[in-house]
C-alpha cells in the first residue's frame, strides 16, 4: 500500500447521510479544515445539490492551498465509475443524478465517488489494521505479511469492502462485496443484515427479555447491560450479541473462503466487540460434517481474534520453518500456519472512510 501520510496534496471530502452532509478536506491523511455541516434536504434535489456546492465551496475557501480532487462516499445504488447516483433509499430526491460530473464542471476538479464500505476498508488498508498487523509481524520476526483486507461495517446495515494488493475491488457493476445480501444463518429465509445490524441485536434482546422491540435499548446500552454496568436482562443481552457474532462469523467464513484476506470490523456496533467477536471467530473455526459422521474444518485457514492478547500472540508467532532445498545446502524460510486475523478498526469508521477517500483519489491521480 502507498503511504500518503506525508503527501502535501489536498483532497476535499464529504460524509453524506440522509439527515446531514459533513464536508472536510484531507492532507497527509489528516483533516486540514474544520468540518462544515449542512442539512442534506434528502427530498428536495435542488436544495440538496445547492448544499453540496455550498459545502465544498466553503471548504475550498478555508484551505491553505488549492485541492487536487474531490473524493467521497455516497449511498448506493450508484454507478460509481460514472459518478451517477441511481436511487439511494435515504436520499429519495436522488434518482439518476450525475453528481460526479456536476461537481467536476462546477469546481474543475477530478471527482471520485465510492461506496462507504469500500472506502472504509481502503482506509484501514492504507493506514489502519493492515499496516498495523504487518508491523506487529515484522516486530515478531515473522516472515508472514498480509496483502489483502476484507472489511465489514456493523451498524444500521451490514456493509463490506475488499482491497486486493493495494487496489480497491469494486466489481464490474460497482457492487462488489454486497455482503448484506448473503443468507442469514439463523433465519435462512431472511438476508444476513437482519441478523447483523443494530435492529438485529435489539430484536434478539427484545425476544430474549420478553419486551417489545420498540423498548429495546440501543447497542451501547445493551453492551452496558451485558457487562453488568446497567439494569436489564444480562442473559438476553449477552445472547443477543452472541447471535450477532454467529451470523457475522458465518458471513465472514463465506467471504474468507473466497478472498483469503485479513478481516477488519467497523461501524457503530464495533465497540461491543468483547461481546460478539469471540462468537465470530468460533463460527469461522467451526466444522462441517460428512455423511459418514466425521468432521472437517470449515476454513482451511485458522481464524484468530486479534483483540485477544493470547490469540494475537499465537497469530504473530505462527509456525516458522526452515525447508531444505533438495540437492542444495540452501534452505527456504516459510510460515506454515495458514491463518486469518479478525480485528477491530484502528482508525474509527469515519476516519478510515475519509482516509480511504483520500487514498483513492491520490492513487487515481498518480
Residue at grid coordinates 520453518: 321
Residue 2 confidence (pLDDT): 81
- pTM for this structure? 0.93
Structural domain boundaries of the chain?
A: 10-114, 129-346
Q: Cβ distance 253 to 267 under 8 Å? A: no
CATH number belonging to domain 129-346: 3.30.420.40
- Residue 1 to residues 41, 49, 127, 146, 198: CA-CA distances in angstroms? 37, 34, 9, 11, 32
Question: Does 10-114 match 129-346 in CATH topology?
Answer: yes
Q: What proportions of the chain, in percent to the nearest 5, are helix, strand and coil?
A: 40, 25, 35
What distance in Å separates the CA atoms of residue 1 and residue 163, rounded to the nearest whole number?
10
- Minimal CA–CA distance to 108: which of 63, 57, 65, 40? 57
Interaxial angle between packed helices 116-127 and 129-139, expressed in degrees from 0 to 180 and rounded to the nearest 10: 30
Mean pLDDT of 282-310: 97
Strand partners, 160: 152
| pLDDT tens-digit map of 47-65 | 999 999 999 999 999 999 9
pLDDT at 26: 96
Q: What is the pLDDT of residue 121?
A: 97
pLDDT surpasses 80 at 1: no
Q: What is the pLDDT of residue 237?
A: 98
* Per-residue DSSP letter, 325: P
Q: Are the CB atoms for 14 and 25 separated by under 8 Å? A: no
C-alpha distances in Å from residue 255, one per residue of 100, 118, 161, 259: 31, 15, 10, 6
Q: Which residue has the cell 474531490?
A: 70
User: How many angstroms separate the CA atoms of 219 and 20, rounded?
Assistant: 22
CATH class of the domain at 10-114 = alpha beta
Q: How far apart are CA 115 and CA 111, in angstroms?
A: 14
Residues 204-252: tens digit of each pLDDT: 999 999 999 999 999 999 999 999 999 999 999 999 999 999 999 999 9
From residue 20, alpha-carbon distances to 28, 40, 47, 95, 349 in Å are 26, 5, 12, 18, 17
Taking 90 as the threshold, does the pLDDT of residue 90 lie above it?
no
pLDDT of residue 17: 85
Amino acid at each position: 500500500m502507498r503511504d500518503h501520510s506525508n503527501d502535501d496534496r489536498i483532497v476535499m471530502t464529504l460524509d453524506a447521510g440522509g439527515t446531514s452532509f459533513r464536508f472536510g478536506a484531507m492532507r497527509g491523511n489528516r483533516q486540514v479544515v474544520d468540518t462544515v455541516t449542512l442539512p442534506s434536504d434528502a427530498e428536495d434535489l435542488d436544495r440538496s445539490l445547492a448544499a453540496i456546492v455550498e459545502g465544498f465551496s466553503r471548504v475550498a475557501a478555508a484551505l491553505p492551498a488549492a485541492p487536487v480532487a474531490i473524493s467521497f462516499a455516497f449511498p448506493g445504488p450508484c454507478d460509481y465509475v460514472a459518478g451517477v447516483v441511481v436511487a439511494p433509499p435515504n436520499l429519495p430526491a436522488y434518482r439518476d443524478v450525475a453528481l460526479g460530473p456536476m461537481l467536476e464542471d462546477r469546481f474543475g476538479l477530478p471527482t471520485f465517488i465510492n461506496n462507504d464500505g469500500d472506502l472504509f476498508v481502503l482506509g484501514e488498508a492504507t493506514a489502519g489494521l493492515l499496516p498495523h498487523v504487518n508491523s506487529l509481524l515484522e516486530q515478531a520476526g515473522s516472515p508472514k505479511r498480509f496483502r489483502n483486507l476484507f472489511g465489514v461495517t456493523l451498524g444500521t446495515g451490514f456493509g463490506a469492502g475488499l482491497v486486493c494488493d493495494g487496489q480497491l475491488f469494486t466489481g464490474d457493476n460497482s457492487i462488489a462485496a454486497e455482503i448484506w445480501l448473503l443468507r442469514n444463518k439463523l433465519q435462512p429465509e431472511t438476508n444476513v443484515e437482519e441478523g447483523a445490524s443494530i435492529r438485529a441485536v435489539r430484536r434478539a434482546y427484545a425476544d430474549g427479555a420478553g419486551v417489545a422491540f420498540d423498548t429495546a435499548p440501543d447497542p451501547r446500552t445493551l453492551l452496558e447491560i451485558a457487562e453488568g454496568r446497567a439494569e436489564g436482562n444480562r442473559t438476553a443481552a449477552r445472547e443477543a450479541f452472541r447471535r450477532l457474532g454467529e451470523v457475522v462469523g458465518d458471513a465472514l467464513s463465506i467471504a474468507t473462503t473466497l478472498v483469503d484476506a485479513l478481516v477488519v470490523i467497523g461501524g457503530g456496533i464495533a465497540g461491543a466487540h468483547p461481546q460478539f467477536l469471540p462468537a465470530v471467530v468460533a463460527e469461522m473455526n467451526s466444522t462441517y460434517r460428512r455423511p459418514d459422521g466425521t468432521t472437517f474444518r470449515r476454513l482451511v485457514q485458522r481464524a484468530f481474534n486479534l483483540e485477544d492478547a493470547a490469540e494475537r500472540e499465537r497469530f504473530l508467532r505462527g509456525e516458522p520453518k526452515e525447508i531444505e532445498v533438495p540437492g542444495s545446502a540452501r534452505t527456504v524460510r516459510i510460515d506454515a500456519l495458514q491463518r486469518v486475523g479478525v480485528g477491530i478498526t484502528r482508525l474509527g469508521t469515519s476516519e478510515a472512510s475519509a482516509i480511504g477517500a483520500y487514498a483513492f483519489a491520490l492513487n487515481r491521480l498518480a
